C-alpha cells in the first residue's frame, strides 16, 4: 500500500546519478542520449557520472564528453569501490532536489527519466519503475537472470506485503529529502538498489509505480555477480524488515502527511 501524493513545491533541478566501471564503450552514448531527451523536454538537469575505479578508458571518454555536454559533471571514486559506494558519492555531490539512479550501459530508457521527473512533480516522494507491469517491457533479458529476478522480487513482495514487483531494479527516482531520510546507507554494492526503496516504503514516504522499458546491454560486461550478491540482498532485506516490525516507528517520516492511504 502506498501513501498518497501531497502538494509540494515545484522541483528545481534533476540530478541523474550514473555509476560507471569500465564502460568506455557506451558511457558517451548514454550521457548524450540522456542530455538530448532532457533538453527536448525542458527538464533542468545535471548528469553526474561516477567513475568507480575503471581500468579502461572510461575517465578519458568522460572528459571528452564533458566538452560536448555542458550538464555533465564526471567525478572519480578514489576510495573503496562498489556500486553502492559510487551511488552514494553521487548523492553527496548532487545539487538537485530530485535524484534518479540510472545505469551506464543504456539499458534504461531516457524517456522514462522524463516521466520520473513529471511524476515526482505531481507530489510523490518516490517513483519506482517496473518492467513487469502493463506497459512495461524487457528486451533480450537472459532467461536465468530473469528467473532469479522474479523469484527475488516475489520474496520481497511477500516479506514486506507490498505490490511493487521490481524492487531490485536500480532505476528509480526520489526527492532529495527521501535520500536524506534513508541515511545512513549500509550497502556498498548492488544491494543498495533494494535498501533505498524498502527504507523509503517502511519510513512512510509516498511512492508509486510506473511502467518502464529495459534493454540488455549491447557493449561491455555486466557488473552484477549473482553468486556474490545473494547473501547481501538477503541481509539488507532482513535488516529493513526488522526495522519495519521492531523499531517502533523510530525512523518513520515525521509528518502528518505520512498516514497510509
pLDDT score of 254: 66
Q: What is the pLDDT of residues 18-60, one digit of tens each?
A: 999 999 999 999 999 999 999 999 999 999 999 999 999 999 9
Quick one: average pLDDT of 140-152?
90
Quick one: average pLDDT of 88-100?
98
Sign, Cα dihedral of 188, 123, 203, 1? negative
Q: What is the mean pLDDT of the chain?
A: 92
Query: Is the pLDDT at 249 greater than 90, yes or no?
Result: no
pLDDT score of 2: 61
42 CB burial (10 A radius; 0-12, 13-18, 19+): exposed
Quick one: average pLDDT of 65-94?
97
Quick one: average pLDDT of 229-247?
92
Residue 251: which pLDDT band, with cuts at 50, 70 and 90? confident
| 98, β-bridge pairs | 14, 175
Residue 257: which pLDDT band, with cuts at 50, 70 and 90? very low
This prediction has a pTM of 0.91
Nearest-angstrom CA–CA distance, 147 and 168: 13
Residue 142: which pLDDT band, with cuts at 50, 70 and 90? confident
Retrieve residue 76's grid coordinates: 572519480
pLDDT score of 136: 95
Quick one: average pLDDT of 108-128?
97
Sheet holding 72-76, edge to edge: 72-76, 45-51, 14-20, 98-101, 172-175, 126-130, 207-211
User: What domains appear along the chain, each with residue ranges and CATH number?
Assistant: 14-247 (3.90.550.10)
Q: What is the pLDDT of residues 175-227, one digit of tens each?
A: 999 999 999 999 999 999 999 999 999 999 999 999 999 999 777 565 555 55
Cβ atoms of 176 and 97 within 8 Å: the answer is yes
Cβ atoms of 204 and 127 within 8 Å: the answer is no
Quick one: average pLDDT of 143-169?
93
pLDDT score of 252: 86
Q: What percent of the chain has pLDDT over 70?
A: 92
Query: Is the pLDDT at 260 greater than 50, yes or no?
Result: no
pLDDT score of 255: 54
Amino acid at each position: 500500500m502506498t501513501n498518497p501524493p501531497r502538494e509540494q513545491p515545484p522541483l528545481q533541478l534533476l540530478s541523474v546519478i550514473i555509476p560507471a566501471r569500465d564502460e568506455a564503450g557506451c558511457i558517451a552514448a548514454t550521457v548524450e542520449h540522456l542530455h538530448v531527451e532532457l533538453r527536448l523536454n525542458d527538464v533542468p538537469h545535471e548528469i553526474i557520472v561516477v567513475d568507480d575505479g575503471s581500468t579502461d578508458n572510461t575517465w578519458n571518454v568522460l572528459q571528452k564528453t564533458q566538452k560536448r555536454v555542458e550538464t555533465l559533471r564526471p567525478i572519480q571514486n578514489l576510495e573503496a569501490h562498489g556500486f553502492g559506494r559510487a551511488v552514494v558519492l553521487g548523492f553527496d555531490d548532487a545539487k538537485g532536489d530530485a535524484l534518479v539512479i540510472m545505469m551506464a550501459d543504456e539499458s534504461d530508457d531516457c524517456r522514462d527519466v522524463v516521466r520520473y521527473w513529471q511524476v515526482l512533480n505531481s507530489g510523490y516522494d518516490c517513483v519506482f519503475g517496473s518492467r513487469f507491469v502493463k506497459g512495461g517491457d524487457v528486451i533480450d533479458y537472459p532467461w536465468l537472470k530473469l528467473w532469479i529476478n522474479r523469484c527475488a522480487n516475489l520474496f520481497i513482495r511477500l516479506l514486506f506485503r507490498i505490490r511493487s514487483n521490481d524492487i531490485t531494479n536500480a532505476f528509480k527516482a526520489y526527492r532529495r529529502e527521501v535520500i536524506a531520510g534513508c541515511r545512513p546507507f549500509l550497502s556498498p554494492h548492488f544491494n543498495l538498489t533494494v535498501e533505498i526503496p524498502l527504507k523509503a516504503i517502511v519510513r512512510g514516504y509516498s511512492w508509486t509505480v510506473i511502467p518502464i522499458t529495459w534493454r540488455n546491454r549491447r557493449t561491455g560486461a555486466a557488473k552484477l555477480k549473482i553468486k556474490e550478491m545473494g547473501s547481501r540482498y538477503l541481509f539488507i532485506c532482513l535488516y529493513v524488515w526488522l526495522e519495519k516490525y521492531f523499531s517502533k516507528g523510530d525512523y518513520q517520516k515525521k509528518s502528518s502527511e505520512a498516514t497510509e492511504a
